[in-house]
Amino acid sequence: MHMFRDKTRLPGPEQALPGRNQAMSVTNLHYVKGTSIQPPFPADTRTALFGLSCFWGTERCFWELPGVYSTAVVYAAGYTPNPTCQ
C-alpha cells in the first residue's frame, strides 16, 4: 500500500478499488427512528454529510439529536462504485 503514503492526496481513479456493479439491497426503514433512509424526505428536511472515522458508533449520537429525521452510514465520494467495507 505504498501508493497511499501521502495522506494529503486522494488516490486517483487508476488507484481506486474496483467496487461492485450493483448497489447493496437495503431496507428503506431506519431501524431505530422508523423513518425512511432514502428520498423523498419531508419538504423541510435538509441533508448534512459528515466525514467520520468509526462511523457506526458515531451515527448513534445523531439519532438522539432533536430535529434529526434519519441517519445512514455510507461511503461517499471517491471513484469506487458501490463500495463495501469488506
Residue 16, number of CB atoms within 10 A of its CB:
14
Using DSSP, state whether 61 is helix, strand or coil.
helix
**CA–CA dist 65, 37 (Å, integer):** 16
Q: Of the residues 43, 54, 65, 76, which is catalytic?
A: 54
DSSP secondary structure letter of residue 57? H
Q: Quick one: CA torsion of 1, 82, 74, 36, rounded to 10 degrees?
A: -170
54 is catalytic: yes
Task: Tell me which residues are annotated as active site.
Answer: 54
